[in-house]
Amino acid sequence: MMTATLPQAPFRLEQKRIAQAILLAALVLVLFRNALPAGLLRLPEGLILPFADWINAAFAFARDDLGLMALTRAVSDAVEFCLDVTANMLYGKSRWPNVGPIPWVVIAATAGMAGHALGGWRLATLAAGTFVWIAVMGQWKWAMETLSVIVVAAPLSVLLGLALGTLAWRYRLAERILNPILNIAQSLPHFAYMIPVVVFIGVGPKAGAIVTVIFSVPPMIRMTLLGLRSVPPEIIESGKMSGATRLQLMTRVRLPSARTEILIGVNQVIMQSLAMVVLASFIGMPGLGQKLLQLLQALKIGLSVEIGVTIVLLAIVLDRMSKAWAVKQPAHAEGPWLHRHRLLAIWLGLVALGFALAALHPYFAEVERKQALSLAGPVDAVVGRVIDLIDPVTDWLRWFLITWVLIPLRDAFLWLPTSAVLLALAGLGWRTGGLRSALVCLAFALPIALSGWWDRAMITAYTVFVAVALALMIGVPLGLVGAANETRARRFLLVCDTAQTFPSFIYLIPVIMLFGVNDVAVIAAVMVFATVPIVRYTIEGLRGVPPEIVESAQMSGASRGQLLWHVKLPLALPTLVVGANQSIMFALFMVIIAAFIGTQDLGQEMQRALSSADVGKGFVLGLAVAFMGLMADHLLLRWAQSRASPGGK
């Protein structure tokens, strides 16, 4: 037998058996549910641990006894000073240095020149065009309020990320501490850490800036660490040989060599900051996000779409610019000053021209709301027409889904005994990664049961399950269509980018108008968001299939269907799994936001915790969501790994 020669196989076989035994035990628990003692159905009251109280006590201790409040207030005062400066420059808030606001033509020209310097005429047109759009649509002041926070928060986040990333690179202990924190931070719903910010910092632009920093710093830390790690030792050697001190080695050798990774980190920071624009307005960040929420509150969909477009445009411009910066290698020019600094000179000329124009006519300084153009009328009309058009279908669909799919499924999720779910998860863990994965799964799932939020967590799980299943059903075929050729793939990916940065709050309203306040609306909203990564990764996965393999399959006479099912999809599977994993993460984020439609899951409680500034409860709920995400992440990635490694089958 083969097993004798392969030392791994008996272990694998055993792993499979144990997993089957555990899963069988879970099945038995489910089958004999009605005969189970109450303690196995749900954890008995006595075992529920008051995590929230403990966290609150810890926070109270930090705030009152350790005097952390004085520190955070000092930090936030420093941040506020920076915010006041940018606020004055960008929209003329009456603060030192009292020189602003800078006319919009000047900023648009500056953006255009920056675009040109980084990526040529196309980027220049895109950048300048975005700012012209913002100005003529009358959103200048709001956009500048937003940007005044981002231009402070993003550099802060970059610096903090660089510092922490370097620390983690230098000291193994720091990395060991940071890594789990980063994992959790990246899967924690935004609202969870907004609550302590309200307690320690207060509300307003400074709170918005700080929450943005917290949200955007993890990728920067990771990319810095990655970049510093991947500097080839030869470069370091040559640096040492030229007699560089340790500081010089860091600033002149290591950091410049890690430039590309670090700039990708910067790009991530900018994208995350823009993703936070709307959510941060819940704790007082002014600008586009705040305006968007106000407009949605009055059901002004057209005007909110305009703001959504602005946010997407800003994201695309900043994304393209920072990526162009990452790719661009530092160049050295020679010659007289004017020759070397031709672009700088042109920019200075344009700035002077801009100020002159602004002095000539106030339209070039600021476009007032009354003079603004608007697309709201047509957009509202289109949205109204679309809703009218599909309304008859949705009526039936809603009835069908609720009566025959969603309510039964939801009841089934709630009907399952806690003990059976825990066992099944352990079994799944064992099946994918042996004892270690089984323990990891339990370590994530058990605290949720102990926290006492089990039922709500099951409803969240049910919502995410249905939404991701639907997203797979829609997203994979879409991805297959999109991957047909290069041009189409690029177009599809652009749509994915747009859908991902478009503020999700906007489509909550049409979804409610279509489906009403119920699970169908919630799942529809979550699904829209969860489909994006699946389409993206399907396309990426199929594009990544080596053309030689496709060709050789074609030569051996595979039909198109065979080619797809037996060659392309299996090879793209690891990437697809990453997509599914991302999709679960996105769904978990969105399901919390969908609480604004009306849910009975963790999100609803989270909303309550935010309005009562209950730090402990917010954290417990946030961790429950994060743990679900991390568990799915662990299982899926493990599974993909075992499939990818040769001994895995």
Partner 1 sequence: MQRLTRLLLGAATIALAAPLLAPAALAEDSPDPIVIPIHNWSSQIVMSNVVGQMFEGMGNSVEYVSTDSQAVYEAVRLGDATLELEVWEGAFGASFDAAVAKGGIHDAASHNAVTREDWWYPLWTKEACPGLPDWKALNDCAAKFATPETGDKGRFLGGPVDWLKHDQEKVDALGMNFVVVNAGSAAALWAEIAAAEKDKTPIVLFNWTPNFAEAVWPGEFVNFPEWVEGCDKDPAVGPIPDKTYDCGNPANGYLKIAAWDGMKDKWPAAYATLQKVSFTNAQIAEMAKLVDVDGMEPEDAATAWMEANEAVWKPWTE
**Residue numbers at the binding site for partner 1 (CB under 8 A):** 93-94, 198, 202-205, 281-286, 290, 293-294, 296-299, 369-370, 387-388, 391, 398-399, 402-403, 407, 508-509, 512-514, 516-519, 594-600, 604, 607-608, 610-613
Least distance in angstroms from the C-beta of 230 to partner 1? 43
**Closer residue to partner 1 in complex, CB, 278/470:** 278
Q: Which two tokens stand for residue 24?
A: 């069988």
Q: Quick one: how far is CA 113 from the chain centroid?
A: 30
**Of 164, 211, 190, 208, nearest to 606 (Cα)?**
190
Provide, rounded to whole angstroms, the least separation between the CB of residue 520 and partner 1. Answer: 9
285 vs 351, beta carbon nearer partner 1: 285
End-to-end CA gap in the chain: 17
* Residue (294 or 645) nearer to partner 1, CB: 294
Tokens of 9: 């196989």
Can you tell me which residue has the tokens 């002077």?
352
- Minimal distance in Å, beta carbon 140 to partner 1? 13
Q: Which is nearer to partner 1, 71 or 159 (CB)?
A: 71
Nearer to partner 1, 30 or 376 (CB): 376
Closest approach of partner 1 to the CB of residue 435, in Å:
42
Q: Smallest gap, in angstroms, from Cβ of residue 301 to partner 1?
A: 9
Output 299 or 344, the one with its CB closest to partner 1: 299
Q: What are the distances in angstroms from CA 74 to CA 71, 84, 534?
A: 5, 15, 44
Token representation of residue 305: 């779409």
Asked whether 224 and 262 are in contact (CB, 8 A), the reply is yes
The encoded tokens of residue 284 equal 């007082």
Which long-range contacts does 143-146 make (Cβ < 8 Å, 24+ apart)?
Answer: 143/287, 143/288, 143/310, 143/314, 144/90, 144/91, 144/101, 144/287, 145/87, 145/90, 145/91, 145/205, 145/286, 145/287, 145/288, 145/290, 146/277, 146/285, 146/286, 146/287, 146/288, 146/289
Q: What minimum distance in Å lies between the beta carbon of 615 and partner 1? A: 12
Element (H, E) at 374: none
CA gap 392, 546 in Å, rounded: 46
Residues 6+ apart with CB under 8 A from 114: 127, 321
For residue 220, the minimal CB distance to partner 1 (Å) is 28
Nearer to partner 1, 20 or 612 (CB): 612
Cβ–Cβ under 8 Å, residues 593 and 603: yes
Query: In terms of CB distance, is 449 or 597 closer to partner 1?
Result: 597
Between 153 and 296, name the residue whose CB sits nearer to partner 1: 296
CB of 370 to partner 1, least distance (A): 8
The nearer residue to partner 1, 514 or 578, going by C-beta atoms, is 514
Give the span between the Cα atoms of 116 and 106, in whole angstroms.
Answer: 15
- Using an 8 Å Cβ cutoff, are 322 and 261 in contact? no
Taking the complex as a whole, the smallest distance from the CB of residue 512 to partner 1 amounts, in Å, to 4
Minimum Å gap between C-beta 644 and partner 1 is 41
Taking each helix axis as running N to C, give the angle between helix 504-515 and helix 301-327, from 0 to 180 degrees, rounded to the nearest 10: 140
312, 277 Cβ separation under 8 angstroms: no
Closest distance of CB 486 from partner 1, Å: 40
Contact (Cβ atoms closer than 8 angstroms) between residue 364 and residue 354:
yes
Taking the complex as a whole, the smallest distance from the CB of residue 198 to partner 1 amounts, in Å, to 6
Report whether 277 contacts 288 (CB < 8 A). Answer: yes
> Smallest gap, in angstroms, from Cβ of residue 37 to partner 1?
30
Closer CB to partner 1, 104 or 282, in the complex: 282
* Minimum separation from the CB atom of position 611 to partner 1 (A): 4
Count the neighbouring beta carbons within 10 Å of the beta carbon of residue 470. 18
Q: Give the H/E segment covering residue 176.
A: helix 172-187
CB-wise, 521 or 635, nearer to partner 1? 521
User: Which CB atom, from 528 or from 632, has the smaller least distance to partner 1?
Assistant: 528
Show Cβ contacts of residue 210 under 8 Å, excluding neighbours closer than 6 positions. 75, 76, 79, 153, 197, 201
* CB nearer partner 1, residue 241 or residue 298: 298
Could you tell me which residues come within 8 angstroms of residue 69 by beta carbon, excluding any fewer than 6 positions away?
63, 200
Token pair belonging to 431: 């099946």
